[in-house]
Amino acid sequence: MSSTASELEPVAWTRETSQEPLETNDDTLKAVREMIKAGKRTQIVELLKKWDPIDVMQLLTRLRLKHARKLFQWLPANPSIKVVAELRPEFRSILMEATTLDQFRDILAGLDPEDATEILNEFPDDVADELIARLPDVEEIATRASYADDTAGRVMARKFVALREDCTAGEAVEQMREEADRIRKVFTVYVTDFDGKLTGTVEVGKLLLAPDEQTLGKLMNRDVIAVSTDTDQEEVLRLARKRDMRTVPVVSGEGHLIGRITPKQLTRIAADEANEDMLLMSGVSGEARSDDTVFRIVRGRLPWLLAGLVGASVAATVVGSYEDQLAEAAILAAFIPVTMSMAGNAGLQASAVAVQGIATGALWSGDILFRLVKEFFAALFNGAVAGVILAALVLIASMIVPLEAPGRLAIATSLSLLCVTTLAAMVGATVPIILDKIGIDPAMAIGVFITSSNDVLGVLIFFLMATTFYMS
Protein backbone atom coordinates (compact mmCIF):
# COMPACT_ATOMS: atom_id res chain seq x y z
CA MET A 1 0.00 0.00 0.00
CA SER A 2 1.32 3.45 -0.89
CA SER A 3 1.82 5.97 1.87
CA THR A 4 0.16 9.35 1.75
CA ALA A 5 0.42 12.70 3.48
CA SER A 6 -1.47 12.79 6.75
CA GLU A 7 -3.62 15.70 5.66
CA LEU A 8 -4.82 13.70 2.69
CA GLU A 9 -5.82 10.51 4.49
CA PRO A 10 -7.58 8.24 3.71
CA VAL A 11 -6.40 8.79 0.11
CA ALA A 12 -4.24 5.67 -0.30
CA TRP A 13 -3.86 2.96 -2.92
CA THR A 14 -3.82 -0.80 -2.52
CA ARG A 15 -1.73 -2.56 -5.17
CA GLU A 16 -3.96 -4.44 -7.63
CA THR A 17 -2.20 -7.67 -8.54
CA SER A 18 -4.86 -9.05 -10.87
CA GLN A 19 -6.99 -7.78 -13.73
CA GLU A 20 -9.95 -7.25 -11.40
CA PRO A 21 -10.07 -3.77 -9.76
CA LEU A 22 -10.28 -3.65 -5.97
CA GLU A 23 -13.33 -2.06 -4.39
CA THR A 24 -11.09 -0.72 -1.59
CA ASN A 25 -9.59 1.72 -4.12
CA ASP A 26 -12.94 3.22 -5.09
CA ASP A 27 -12.76 5.87 -2.35
CA THR A 28 -9.28 6.85 -3.48
CA LEU A 29 -10.43 7.19 -7.08
CA LYS A 30 -13.32 9.39 -5.99
CA ALA A 31 -11.05 11.59 -3.86
CA VAL A 32 -8.47 11.97 -6.64
CA ARG A 33 -11.18 12.84 -9.16
CA GLU A 34 -12.50 15.55 -6.81
CA MET A 35 -9.00 17.01 -6.37
CA ILE A 36 -8.48 17.06 -10.15
CA LYS A 37 -11.83 18.77 -10.70
CA ALA A 38 -10.99 21.31 -7.99
CA GLY A 39 -7.60 22.02 -9.60
CA LYS A 40 -5.64 21.05 -6.48
CA ARG A 41 -2.43 20.40 -8.39
CA THR A 42 0.02 21.00 -5.53
CA GLN A 43 -1.79 18.72 -3.11
CA ILE A 44 -2.19 15.84 -5.53
CA VAL A 45 1.42 16.04 -6.74
CA GLU A 46 2.69 15.93 -3.15
CA LEU A 47 0.50 12.90 -2.60
CA LEU A 48 1.60 10.96 -5.67
CA LYS A 49 5.31 11.70 -5.15
CA LYS A 50 5.15 9.25 -2.27
CA TRP A 51 3.45 6.53 -4.27
CA ASP A 52 5.20 3.76 -6.13
CA PRO A 53 5.14 4.37 -9.94
CA ILE A 54 3.21 1.14 -10.42
CA ASP A 55 0.47 2.40 -8.09
CA VAL A 56 0.35 5.72 -9.98
CA MET A 57 0.09 3.80 -13.25
CA GLN A 58 -2.82 1.75 -11.91
CA LEU A 59 -4.54 4.91 -10.73
CA LEU A 60 -4.16 6.51 -14.17
CA THR A 61 -5.66 3.53 -15.94
CA ARG A 62 -8.67 3.54 -13.58
CA LEU A 63 -9.43 7.24 -14.09
CA ARG A 64 -11.53 8.65 -16.91
CA LEU A 65 -9.36 9.58 -19.88
CA LYS A 66 -9.72 13.35 -19.52
CA HIS A 67 -8.80 13.16 -15.82
CA ALA A 68 -5.85 10.86 -16.52
CA ARG A 69 -4.49 13.26 -19.14
CA LYS A 70 -4.71 16.23 -16.81
CA LEU A 71 -3.15 14.36 -13.91
CA PHE A 72 -0.33 13.09 -16.11
CA GLN A 73 0.43 16.63 -17.28
CA TRP A 74 0.58 17.79 -13.66
CA LEU A 75 3.21 15.24 -12.67
CA PRO A 76 6.78 16.60 -12.48
CA ALA A 77 9.56 15.06 -14.59
CA ASN A 78 10.92 12.48 -12.18
CA PRO A 79 7.79 10.50 -11.28
CA SER A 80 6.15 10.95 -14.67
CA ILE A 81 8.96 9.23 -16.57
CA LYS A 82 8.93 6.33 -14.11
CA VAL A 83 5.17 6.05 -14.55
CA VAL A 84 5.54 5.97 -18.33
CA ALA A 85 7.89 3.01 -17.99
CA GLU A 86 5.12 1.10 -16.20
CA LEU A 87 2.32 1.98 -18.61
CA ARG A 88 1.27 -0.44 -21.32
CA PRO A 89 1.78 0.96 -24.86
CA GLU A 90 -1.90 1.60 -25.50
CA PHE A 91 -2.20 3.75 -22.36
CA ARG A 92 0.96 5.69 -23.14
CA SER A 93 -0.26 6.59 -26.60
CA ILE A 94 -3.59 7.81 -25.19
CA LEU A 95 -1.84 10.11 -22.74
CA MET A 96 0.63 11.47 -25.28
CA GLU A 97 -1.10 14.66 -26.41
CA ALA A 98 0.73 17.68 -27.87
CA THR A 99 1.12 19.45 -24.53
CA THR A 100 2.42 16.28 -22.89
CA LEU A 101 4.87 15.71 -25.73
CA ASP A 102 6.22 19.23 -25.22
CA GLN A 103 6.64 18.40 -21.55
CA PHE A 104 8.68 15.29 -22.36
CA ARG A 105 10.70 17.14 -25.00
CA ASP A 106 11.95 19.47 -22.30
CA ILE A 107 12.72 16.54 -20.02
CA LEU A 108 14.64 14.57 -22.69
CA ALA A 109 16.61 17.64 -23.81
CA GLY A 110 18.09 17.92 -20.33
CA LEU A 111 19.17 14.28 -20.09
CA ASP A 112 22.31 12.46 -21.14
CA PRO A 113 21.78 11.25 -24.76
CA GLU A 114 22.15 7.60 -23.75
CA ASP A 115 19.60 7.98 -20.94
CA ALA A 116 17.24 9.83 -23.29
CA THR A 117 17.57 7.10 -25.93
CA GLU A 118 16.88 4.40 -23.35
CA ILE A 119 13.76 6.26 -22.20
CA LEU A 120 12.61 6.62 -25.80
CA ASN A 121 12.75 2.85 -26.08
CA GLU A 122 10.04 2.73 -23.41
CA PHE A 123 7.59 4.55 -25.68
CA PRO A 124 5.52 3.19 -28.57
CA ASP A 125 7.31 3.80 -31.89
CA ASP A 126 4.89 6.46 -33.10
CA VAL A 127 5.23 8.45 -29.88
CA ALA A 128 9.03 8.07 -29.91
CA ASP A 129 9.17 9.31 -33.49
CA GLU A 130 7.11 12.36 -32.56
CA LEU A 131 9.43 13.13 -29.65
CA ILE A 132 12.52 12.70 -31.82
CA ALA A 133 11.04 15.11 -34.36
CA ARG A 134 10.80 17.68 -31.58
CA LEU A 135 14.51 17.23 -30.73
CA PRO A 136 16.22 18.18 -34.01
CA ASP A 137 19.39 19.42 -32.31
CA VAL A 138 20.11 16.19 -30.42
CA GLU A 139 22.05 14.21 -33.05
CA GLU A 140 22.57 11.01 -31.08
CA ILE A 141 18.90 10.76 -30.16
CA ALA A 142 17.78 11.64 -33.68
CA THR A 143 19.99 8.84 -35.06
CA ARG A 144 17.42 6.39 -33.72
CA ALA A 145 14.89 7.68 -36.24
CA SER A 146 17.16 6.65 -39.11
CA TYR A 147 16.55 2.97 -38.38
CA ALA A 148 13.47 1.24 -39.75
CA ASP A 149 10.69 0.05 -37.46
CA ASP A 150 11.10 -3.38 -35.85
CA THR A 151 14.84 -3.56 -36.52
CA ALA A 152 17.78 -4.15 -34.19
CA GLY A 153 18.96 -0.57 -34.64
CA ARG A 154 15.60 0.73 -33.46
CA VAL A 155 15.46 -1.25 -30.22
CA MET A 156 19.14 -1.61 -29.29
CA ALA A 157 20.61 -0.09 -26.12
CA ARG A 158 23.81 1.91 -26.49
CA LYS A 159 25.07 1.13 -23.00
CA PHE A 160 27.52 -1.77 -22.89
CA VAL A 161 30.99 -2.70 -21.66
CA ALA A 162 33.49 -3.07 -24.52
CA LEU A 163 37.24 -3.50 -23.92
CA ARG A 164 40.22 -4.24 -26.14
CA GLU A 165 41.85 -7.65 -26.39
CA ASP A 166 44.99 -6.52 -24.54
CA CYS A 167 42.96 -5.45 -21.48
CA THR A 168 43.53 -7.68 -18.43
CA ALA A 169 40.83 -9.33 -16.35
CA GLY A 170 41.68 -7.11 -13.39
CA GLU A 171 41.33 -3.98 -15.50
CA ALA A 172 38.06 -5.27 -16.92
CA VAL A 173 36.57 -5.84 -13.45
CA GLU A 174 37.66 -2.35 -12.42
CA GLN A 175 36.05 -0.92 -15.56
CA MET A 176 32.81 -2.77 -14.77
CA ARG A 177 32.78 -1.23 -11.29
CA GLU A 178 33.16 2.23 -12.78
CA GLU A 179 30.32 1.55 -15.23
CA ALA A 180 28.00 0.10 -12.56
CA ASP A 181 25.99 3.30 -12.15
CA ARG A 182 25.61 3.79 -15.91
CA ILE A 183 24.82 0.18 -16.81
CA ARG A 184 22.51 -1.60 -14.40
CA LYS A 185 23.10 -5.22 -15.44
CA VAL A 186 26.10 -6.67 -17.27
CA PHE A 187 26.07 -10.31 -18.34
CA THR A 188 28.67 -10.12 -21.09
CA VAL A 189 31.78 -8.05 -21.70
CA TYR A 190 32.43 -7.41 -25.39
CA VAL A 191 35.96 -7.56 -26.72
CA THR A 192 37.14 -5.45 -29.66
CA ASP A 193 40.32 -5.02 -31.64
CA PHE A 194 42.28 -1.76 -31.87
CA ASP A 195 39.83 -0.46 -34.49
CA GLY A 196 36.77 -1.07 -32.34
CA LYS A 197 35.56 -4.10 -34.30
CA LEU A 198 33.87 -6.85 -32.30
CA THR A 199 36.12 -9.91 -32.01
CA GLY A 200 34.73 -11.85 -29.05
CA THR A 201 32.85 -11.98 -25.77
CA VAL A 202 33.63 -12.87 -22.17
CA GLU A 203 30.95 -13.92 -19.70
CA VAL A 204 31.09 -11.99 -16.43
CA GLY A 205 31.31 -15.17 -14.35
CA LYS A 206 34.37 -16.36 -16.26
CA LEU A 207 35.95 -12.92 -15.99
CA LEU A 208 35.59 -12.79 -12.21
CA LEU A 209 37.24 -16.21 -11.80
CA ALA A 210 40.18 -15.44 -14.09
CA PRO A 211 43.61 -14.30 -12.83
CA ASP A 212 43.93 -10.52 -12.78
CA GLU A 213 46.83 -10.52 -15.25
CA GLN A 214 45.03 -12.72 -17.83
CA THR A 215 44.23 -10.78 -21.02
CA LEU A 216 40.74 -10.76 -22.53
CA GLY A 217 42.22 -11.95 -25.81
CA LYS A 218 43.01 -15.29 -24.15
CA LEU A 219 39.77 -15.49 -22.17
CA MET A 220 37.26 -14.50 -24.83
CA ASN A 221 35.02 -16.67 -26.92
CA ARG A 222 35.85 -15.89 -30.54
CA ASP A 223 32.72 -17.62 -31.87
CA VAL A 224 30.74 -14.41 -31.49
CA ILE A 225 27.35 -13.91 -33.11
CA ALA A 226 26.21 -10.38 -33.89
CA VAL A 227 23.43 -8.72 -35.89
CA SER A 228 23.40 -5.62 -38.02
CA THR A 229 21.24 -2.57 -37.36
CA ASP A 230 18.81 -3.49 -40.14
CA THR A 231 18.19 -7.05 -38.88
CA ASP A 232 14.50 -7.60 -38.22
CA GLN A 233 13.72 -7.84 -34.51
CA GLU A 234 11.95 -11.17 -35.02
CA GLU A 235 15.14 -12.59 -36.51
CA VAL A 236 17.09 -11.23 -33.52
CA LEU A 237 14.72 -13.03 -31.17
CA ARG A 238 14.97 -16.23 -33.19
CA LEU A 239 18.78 -16.08 -33.07
CA ALA A 240 18.84 -15.39 -29.33
CA ARG A 241 16.61 -18.39 -28.65
CA LYS A 242 18.51 -20.69 -30.96
CA ARG A 243 21.92 -19.78 -29.51
CA ASP A 244 20.68 -19.28 -25.92
CA MET A 245 22.01 -15.71 -25.81
CA ARG A 246 21.14 -13.35 -22.97
CA THR A 247 22.18 -10.31 -24.97
CA VAL A 248 22.76 -9.85 -28.69
CA PRO A 249 25.49 -7.45 -29.90
CA VAL A 250 24.69 -5.05 -32.75
CA VAL A 251 27.43 -4.03 -35.18
CA SER A 252 27.71 -1.50 -37.99
CA GLY A 253 28.36 -2.42 -41.58
CA GLU A 254 32.10 -2.24 -40.90
CA GLY A 255 31.81 -4.58 -37.89
CA HIS A 256 32.15 -1.90 -35.18
CA LEU A 257 30.19 -2.59 -31.99
CA ILE A 258 27.50 0.08 -31.62
CA GLY A 259 24.87 -1.44 -29.30
CA ARG A 260 23.26 -4.52 -27.79
CA ILE A 261 19.82 -6.03 -27.46
CA THR A 262 19.23 -6.45 -23.73
CA PRO A 263 17.23 -9.21 -22.01
CA LYS A 264 14.49 -6.66 -21.36
CA GLN A 265 14.32 -5.79 -25.05
CA LEU A 266 14.27 -9.48 -26.05
CA THR A 267 11.31 -10.02 -23.72
CA ARG A 268 9.54 -7.01 -25.21
CA ILE A 269 10.22 -8.20 -28.76
CA ALA A 270 8.79 -11.62 -27.90
CA ALA A 271 5.64 -9.99 -26.52
CA ASP A 272 5.31 -7.65 -29.52
CA GLU A 273 5.73 -10.47 -32.03
CA ALA A 274 3.29 -12.70 -30.15
CA ASN A 275 0.68 -9.92 -30.12
CA GLU A 276 1.24 -9.19 -33.80
CA ASP A 277 0.93 -12.86 -34.73
CA MET A 278 -2.24 -13.19 -32.66
CA LEU A 279 -3.79 -10.24 -34.49
CA LEU A 280 -2.72 -11.52 -37.92
CA MET A 281 -4.10 -14.98 -37.14
CA SER A 282 -7.39 -13.33 -36.24
CA GLY A 283 -7.52 -11.47 -39.54
CA VAL A 284 -6.60 -8.07 -38.05
CA SER A 285 -3.73 -5.77 -38.96
CA GLY A 286 -0.65 -6.33 -36.79
CA GLU A 287 -0.63 -2.60 -35.99
CA ALA A 288 -4.11 -2.59 -34.45
CA ARG A 289 -4.56 -1.20 -30.93
CA SER A 290 -7.41 -1.07 -28.48
CA ASP A 291 -7.48 2.75 -28.63
CA ASP A 292 -7.66 2.99 -32.44
CA THR A 293 -10.04 5.47 -34.03
CA VAL A 294 -12.99 4.26 -36.09
CA PHE A 295 -11.06 5.02 -39.28
CA ARG A 296 -8.02 3.00 -38.16
CA ILE A 297 -10.25 0.10 -37.10
CA VAL A 298 -11.95 0.06 -40.50
CA ARG A 299 -8.65 0.42 -42.37
CA GLY A 300 -7.10 -2.43 -40.41
CA ARG A 301 -9.98 -4.89 -40.60
CA LEU A 302 -11.90 -4.20 -43.79
CA PRO A 303 -9.25 -5.59 -46.21
CA TRP A 304 -9.24 -8.89 -44.32
CA LEU A 305 -13.03 -9.02 -44.25
CA LEU A 306 -13.15 -8.37 -48.00
CA ALA A 307 -10.57 -11.10 -48.58
CA GLY A 308 -12.78 -13.45 -46.56
CA LEU A 309 -15.77 -12.33 -48.61
CA VAL A 310 -13.95 -13.24 -51.81
CA GLY A 311 -13.13 -16.68 -50.43
CA ALA A 312 -16.70 -17.24 -49.25
CA SER A 313 -18.03 -16.10 -52.65
CA VAL A 314 -15.80 -18.61 -54.44
CA ALA A 315 -17.03 -21.36 -52.12
CA ALA A 316 -20.64 -20.30 -52.77
CA THR A 317 -19.95 -20.41 -56.50
CA VAL A 318 -18.66 -23.97 -56.18
CA VAL A 319 -21.81 -24.95 -54.27
CA GLY A 320 -23.98 -23.23 -56.88
CA SER A 321 -22.32 -25.14 -59.71
CA TYR A 322 -23.64 -28.35 -58.14
CA GLU A 323 -27.22 -27.07 -58.00
CA ASP A 324 -28.59 -30.04 -59.95
CA GLN A 325 -26.98 -32.54 -57.58
CA LEU A 326 -28.40 -30.70 -54.57
CA ALA A 327 -31.85 -30.63 -56.14
CA GLU A 328 -31.63 -34.36 -56.79
CA ALA A 329 -30.26 -35.24 -53.35
CA ALA A 330 -31.01 -32.49 -50.82
CA ILE A 331 -29.41 -34.55 -48.06
CA LEU A 332 -26.00 -33.52 -49.40
CA ALA A 333 -26.55 -29.96 -48.17
CA ALA A 334 -26.52 -31.21 -44.58
CA PHE A 335 -22.91 -32.34 -44.92
CA ILE A 336 -21.48 -29.12 -46.42
CA PRO A 337 -20.95 -27.43 -43.00
CA VAL A 338 -19.31 -30.61 -41.67
CA THR A 339 -16.84 -30.69 -44.54
CA MET A 340 -16.00 -26.99 -44.36
CA SER A 341 -15.56 -27.13 -40.58
CA MET A 342 -13.20 -30.11 -40.76
CA ALA A 343 -11.19 -28.47 -43.53
CA GLY A 344 -10.85 -25.24 -41.58
CA ASN A 345 -9.91 -26.93 -38.31
CA ALA A 346 -7.34 -29.24 -39.91
CA GLY A 347 -5.76 -26.37 -41.81
CA LEU A 348 -5.62 -24.08 -38.76
CA GLN A 349 -4.06 -26.77 -36.58
CA ALA A 350 -1.31 -27.53 -39.09
CA SER A 351 -0.59 -23.88 -39.86
CA ALA A 352 -0.45 -22.93 -36.18
CA VAL A 353 2.22 -25.58 -35.54
CA ALA A 354 4.17 -24.46 -38.62
CA VAL A 355 4.07 -20.78 -37.59
CA GLN A 356 5.18 -21.65 -34.07
CA GLY A 357 8.10 -23.70 -35.42
CA ILE A 358 9.19 -20.85 -37.68
CA ALA A 359 8.86 -18.23 -34.93
CA THR A 360 10.89 -20.21 -32.39
CA GLY A 361 13.49 -21.41 -34.87
CA ALA A 362 12.56 -25.05 -34.22
CA LEU A 363 11.71 -25.59 -37.90
CA TRP A 364 15.00 -25.92 -39.77
CA SER A 365 15.34 -25.94 -43.54
CA GLY A 366 16.72 -29.49 -43.54
CA ASP A 367 13.84 -30.63 -41.37
CA ILE A 368 10.99 -29.34 -43.55
CA LEU A 369 10.47 -32.44 -45.71
CA PHE A 370 10.45 -34.75 -42.67
CA ARG A 371 7.93 -32.48 -40.91
CA LEU A 372 5.66 -32.42 -43.95
CA VAL A 373 5.75 -36.22 -44.25
CA LYS A 374 4.80 -36.53 -40.56
CA GLU A 375 2.03 -33.98 -41.05
CA PHE A 376 0.69 -35.94 -44.04
CA PHE A 377 0.45 -39.27 -42.20
CA ALA A 378 -0.99 -37.66 -39.08
CA ALA A 379 -3.64 -35.89 -41.17
CA LEU A 380 -4.36 -39.11 -43.05
CA PHE A 381 -4.94 -40.97 -39.79
CA ASN A 382 -7.11 -38.19 -38.34
CA GLY A 383 -9.15 -38.03 -41.54
CA ALA A 384 -9.62 -41.80 -41.56
CA VAL A 385 -10.88 -41.84 -37.97
CA ALA A 386 -13.22 -38.89 -38.59
CA GLY A 387 -14.45 -40.51 -41.82
CA VAL A 388 -15.23 -43.82 -40.13
CA ILE A 389 -17.12 -42.05 -37.34
CA LEU A 390 -19.13 -39.98 -39.84
CA ALA A 391 -19.94 -43.09 -41.89
CA ALA A 392 -21.17 -44.86 -38.75
CA LEU A 393 -23.35 -41.87 -37.85
CA VAL A 394 -24.86 -41.86 -41.33
CA LEU A 395 -25.73 -45.57 -41.09
CA ILE A 396 -27.19 -45.12 -37.60
CA ALA A 397 -29.23 -42.12 -38.78
CA SER A 398 -30.60 -44.21 -41.69
CA MET A 399 -32.22 -46.51 -39.16
CA ILE A 400 -34.16 -43.58 -37.71
CA VAL A 401 -34.66 -41.30 -40.72
CA PRO A 402 -35.32 -42.64 -44.23
CA LEU A 403 -32.19 -42.03 -46.36
CA GLU A 404 -31.69 -43.00 -49.97
CA ALA A 405 -28.73 -45.37 -50.48
CA PRO A 406 -27.26 -44.87 -46.98
CA GLY A 407 -24.31 -47.15 -47.77
CA ARG A 408 -23.19 -45.07 -50.73
CA LEU A 409 -23.81 -41.85 -48.77
CA ALA A 410 -21.64 -43.14 -45.93
CA ILE A 411 -18.83 -44.00 -48.34
CA ALA A 412 -19.04 -40.63 -50.13
CA THR A 413 -19.06 -38.56 -46.95
CA SER A 414 -16.31 -40.56 -45.20
CA LEU A 415 -13.99 -40.45 -48.23
CA SER A 416 -14.58 -36.73 -48.66
CA LEU A 417 -13.72 -36.15 -45.00
CA LEU A 418 -10.54 -38.22 -45.38
CA CYS A 419 -9.39 -36.27 -48.45
CA VAL A 420 -10.43 -32.87 -47.15
CA THR A 421 -8.68 -33.31 -43.80
CA THR A 422 -5.47 -34.51 -45.39
CA LEU A 423 -5.32 -31.85 -48.09
CA ALA A 424 -6.24 -29.01 -45.71
CA ALA A 425 -3.54 -30.06 -43.26
CA MET A 426 -0.92 -30.12 -46.02
CA VAL A 427 -1.97 -26.68 -47.22
CA GLY A 428 -1.86 -25.38 -43.66
CA ALA A 429 1.60 -26.84 -43.04
CA THR A 430 3.10 -25.73 -46.36
CA VAL A 431 1.80 -22.19 -46.91
CA PRO A 432 3.45 -20.63 -43.79
CA ILE A 433 6.81 -22.07 -44.88
CA ILE A 434 6.42 -20.65 -48.39
CA LEU A 435 5.41 -17.24 -47.05
CA ASP A 436 8.40 -17.20 -44.71
CA LYS A 437 10.76 -18.04 -47.60
CA ILE A 438 9.50 -15.11 -49.66
CA GLY A 439 9.72 -12.68 -46.76
CA ILE A 440 6.04 -12.47 -45.69
CA ASP A 441 4.99 -12.95 -42.08
CA PRO A 442 3.78 -16.60 -41.95
CA ALA A 443 1.18 -15.71 -39.31
CA MET A 444 -0.84 -14.16 -42.14
CA ALA A 445 -1.46 -17.69 -43.42
CA ILE A 446 -3.53 -18.65 -40.39
CA GLY A 447 -6.07 -15.93 -40.94
CA VAL A 448 -8.28 -15.47 -43.94
CA PHE A 449 -6.04 -17.29 -46.44
CA ILE A 450 -6.09 -20.75 -44.85
CA THR A 451 -9.76 -20.53 -43.88
CA SER A 452 -10.97 -19.37 -47.29
CA SER A 453 -8.80 -21.68 -49.37
CA ASN A 454 -9.73 -24.72 -47.31
CA ASP A 455 -13.43 -23.86 -47.49
CA VAL A 456 -13.22 -23.80 -51.28
CA LEU A 457 -11.17 -27.01 -51.47
CA GLY A 458 -13.41 -28.71 -48.93
CA VAL A 459 -16.63 -27.97 -50.81
CA LEU A 460 -15.09 -28.92 -54.16
CA ILE A 461 -13.76 -32.26 -52.89
CA PHE A 462 -17.04 -33.03 -51.14
CA PHE A 463 -19.11 -32.63 -54.31
CA LEU A 464 -16.59 -34.55 -56.40
CA MET A 465 -16.84 -37.47 -53.98
CA ALA A 466 -20.63 -37.18 -53.76
CA THR A 467 -20.93 -37.14 -57.54
CA THR A 468 -18.61 -40.10 -57.94
CA PHE A 469 -19.80 -42.40 -55.19
CA TYR A 470 -23.35 -41.30 -54.34
CA MET A 471 -24.92 -39.81 -57.42
CA SER A 472 -23.56 -42.38 -59.89
Nearest to 185 by CA among 259, 123, 241, 247: 247
pLDDT, one tens digit per residue, over 143-198 is 665 677 778 887 787 778 888 888 888 888 888 887 766 666 777 888 888 888 89
Confidence category of residue 381, pLDDT binned at 50, 70, 90:
very high
Residue 430 pLDDT exceeds 60: yes
Q: Could you tell me if 261 and 236 are in contact, meaning their C-beta atoms sit under 8 angstroms apart? A: yes
CA distances from 419 to 10, 325, 416 (A): 69, 20, 5
Confidence category of residue 1, pLDDT binned at 50, 70, 90:
very low
- Select the CATH number that applies to the domain covering 294-470 from these four: 1.10.287.610, 1.10.357.20, 2.40.160.40, 3.40.50.920: 1.10.357.20
Q: Residue 7: what pLDDT?
A: 43
Listed range (2-16, 197-211, 331-345) with the worst mean pLDDT: 2-16
Q: Residue 20: what pLDDT?
A: 60
Nearest to 1 by CA among 45, 74, 54, 41: 54
Report how far residue 123's alpha carbon sits from residue 128's, in angstroms, rounded to the nearest whole number: 6
* 405-414, long-range: CB < 8 A, 24+ apart: 405/470, 408/469, 408/470, 409/331, 409/470, 411/469, 411/470, 412/465, 412/466, 412/468, 412/469, 412/470, 413/335, 413/338, 413/387, 413/462, 413/465, 413/466, 414/387, 414/388, 414/390
Q: Residue 316: what pLDDT?
A: 78
Domain ranges of the chain: 6-154, 162-262, 294-470
Report how far residue 25's alpha carbon sits from residue 365's, in angstroms, rounded to the nearest whole number: 54
Q: Residue 165: what pLDDT?
A: 87
Share of the chain above pLDDT 90, in %: 2
Residue 205 pLDDT exceeds 80: yes
Report how far residue 61's alpha carbon sits from residue 291's, in angstroms, rounded to the nearest whole number: 13
Q: Could you tell me if 276 and 444 are in contact, meaning their C-beta atoms sit under 8 angstroms apart? A: no
Residue 8 pLDDT exceeds 60: no
Report how far residue 196's alpha carbon sits from residue 303's, in angstroms, rounded to the nearest whole number: 48
Q: Residue 11: what pLDDT?
A: 65
Q: Residue 86: what pLDDT?
A: 55
Q: Could you tell me if 134 and 101 are in contact, meaning their C-beta atoms sit under 8 angstroms apart? A: yes
What average pLDDT score do residues 276-286 get? 60
pLDDT, one tens digit per residue, over 317-333 is 877 777 776 666 677 77
Report how far residue 167's alpha carbon sits from residue 133's, in angstroms, rounded to the nearest whole number: 40
Length of the chain: 472
Q: 6-154, what's its fold? A: MgtE N-terminal fold (1.25.60)
Confidence category of residue 446, pLDDT binned at 50, 70, 90:
low
Q: Could you tell me if 164 and 172 are in contact, meaning their C-beta atoms sit under 8 angstroms apart? A: no
441 vs 87: which has the higher pLDDT: 441
Apex CA 279: angle with CA 273 and CA 282, to 5°? 140
Residue 292 pLDDT exceeds 70: no
- How many CA atoms within 13 Å lie on the side-chain side of 383? 26
Confidence category of residue 72, pLDDT binned at 50, 70, 90:
confident
Please name the CATH architecture into which domain 162-262 falls.
Answer: Roll (3.10)
Share of the chain above pLDDT 70, in %: 70
Per-residue HEC secondary structure of 130-146 comes to HHHHCCCCCHHHHHHHH
Q: Could you tell me if 28 and 59 are in contact, meaning their C-beta atoms sit under 8 angstroms apart? A: yes
Q: In the predicted model, what is the mean pLDDT of the chain?
A: 75
Q: Could you tell me if 221 and 248 are in contact, meaning their C-beta atoms sit under 8 angstroms apart? A: no
Report how far residue 287's alpha carbon sits from residue 293's, in angstroms, rounded to the nearest whole number: 13
Q: Residue 321: what pLDDT?
A: 74
Report how far residue 48's alpha carbon sits from residue 36's, in angstroms, rounded to the nearest whole number: 13
